[in-house]
Amino acid sequence: MSLLQVQEVSHTYKKNRLFGSSRASAPILSNISLSIDEGVCLGLLGSSGAGKSTLGKVILGLEKPQQGNILFKGHDLYSMNAAARRRLRRDLQVVLQDCYSAVNPSMCAEQIIGEPLSNYMTMSVLEQKRAICELLEMVGLQAADMAKYPHQFSGGQLQRINIAKAIALNPKLIVLDEPISSLDMVNQSQILALLHDLKRSFGLSYLFITHDIKAAYTLSDRLAVMEQGKLVEQFENKDSIFTSSHPAVKLLLQSVLAEHPRERKIKSVRAECRSL
């Protein structure tokens, strides 16, 4: 049984209109089905507005879909009671693009990483401090960073704090919604390498949401492509993406080509992805 099963999910945001009435707008998600097994990273690609983050929210239990089911460890996320959902949620974590708005600026790293530990575990102050130290080291930071506040970290370092918080409860699945998109190139590859190592060490599963085909190819085992709310392609073998004839996939590949329009061909994108 897959860790996560998304079954025929459709969703539309309610449009707020004047005088309090509401009207449904165009569907944001249309009949989406996918699954993620334990230890697997599914890269979810698509251009801006395709519905990737909405699907992420639906999977995290934050946006109830109008149709379809989300099964996590075989349990329907939206039909269980609040206590059961809370228990399941510790296995289901998230890392977002904007590392600064993901944290409370008045909390130091120790408090940020300690929050899930205090919420879900019974630890003495000393045990919790030790756990936070270990988590900081796992993400490439140091014990001394515990006392620092968000504004004292670089973007890359703060994203490491967010990752430490996400892995604190030893989850099964992390939804990574554009986790490297706001970082510079060096930090992007370092965070990708960190995510790769953590996945290997802890058998984590990821839903890696991104518009960046090179990053998706580097971290993912399987790839899927969304366009206008629909899942238009899924690739069990990620290399098959280079031979897809779907226009949305070709557009994503061409977006890499566009960086150097003269010499790039899909063949060179493939070579570049494989060399990362």
The smaller minimum CB distance to Mg ion, of residues 30 and 53, is found at 53
CB of 28 to Mg ion, least distance (A): 11
The yes or no reply on residue 52 touching ligand ADP (CB under 6 A) is yes
Nearer to ligand ADP by C-beta: 51 or 150? 51
- Interaction between residue 159 and ligand ADP (CB under 6 A): no
Q: Which does 114 bind (CB under 5 to 8 A by kind): Mg ion, ligand ADP, none?
A: none
Contact 11, 28 (CB under 8 A): yes
150 binds, options Mg ion, ligand ADP, none, Cβ within 5 to 8 A by partner type: none
- In the complex with ligand ADP, the residue whose CB is nearer, 52 or 160, is 52
* Smallest distance, ligand ADP to C-beta of residue 224, A: 12
81 binds ligand ADP (CB under 6 A): no
Interaction of residue 116 with ligand ADP, rule CB under 6 A: no
Query: Closest CB to Mg ion belongs to which residue?
Result: 53
Question: Which of residues 53 and 205 has its CB atom nearest to Mg ion in the complex?
Answer: 53
- Nearer CB in complex with ligand ADP: 22/243: 22
- 16 is an interface residue for ligand ADP by CB under 6 A: no
When asked if residue 97 is in the footprint of ligand ADP (CB under 6 A), the reply is no
b/e per residue 170-192 (b: at least 16 CB within 10 A)? ebbbbbbbbbbebbeeebbbbbb
CA 15 to chain centre: 26
Is 48 an interacting residue with respect to ligand ADP (CB under 6 A)?
yes
- Specify the DSSP class assigned to residue 49: T
Question: In 3D, which of 75, 88, 86, 3 has the Cα closest to residue 37?
Answer: 3
**Footprint of Mg ion (CB under 5 A):** 53
Q: Please, what's the b/e burial string for 40-73 (b: 16 or more CB within 10 A of its CB; e: otherwise)?
A: bbbbbbbeeebbbbbbbbbbbbebebeebebbbb
Among 3, 6, 51, 235, binds ligand ADP (CB under 6 A): 51
Of the candidate residues 30, 53, 128, 210, the single one contacting ligand ADP (CB under 6 A) = 53
- The angle subtended at Cα 35 by Cα 171 and Cα 190, nearest 5°, is 50
**Binders in 24-43 for ligand ADP, by CB under 6 A:** 28
Q: Would you state the structure tokens that stand for residue 38, as one six-digit string?
A: 């334990």
Instruction: Please check whether residue 163 is in contact with residue 95, taking contact to mean a CB–CB distance below 8 angstroms.
Output: yes
Cα Rg for the chain, rounded, in angstroms?
Answer: 19
Segment near ligand ADP (CB under 6 A); pick from 1-9, 52-60, 83-91, 112-120? 52-60
Q: Who contacts 237 (Cβ-Cβ below 8 Å, separation ≥6)?
A: none
Measured distance CA(224)–CA(106) in Å, rounded: 38
Q: How many CB atoms lie within 10 A of CB 194?
A: 17
Q: Which is nearer to ligand ADP, 28 or 161 (CB)?
A: 28
Assess 128 for contact with ligand ADP (CB under 6 A): no
Residues that bind ligand ADP (CB under 6 A): 13, 28, 46, 48-54
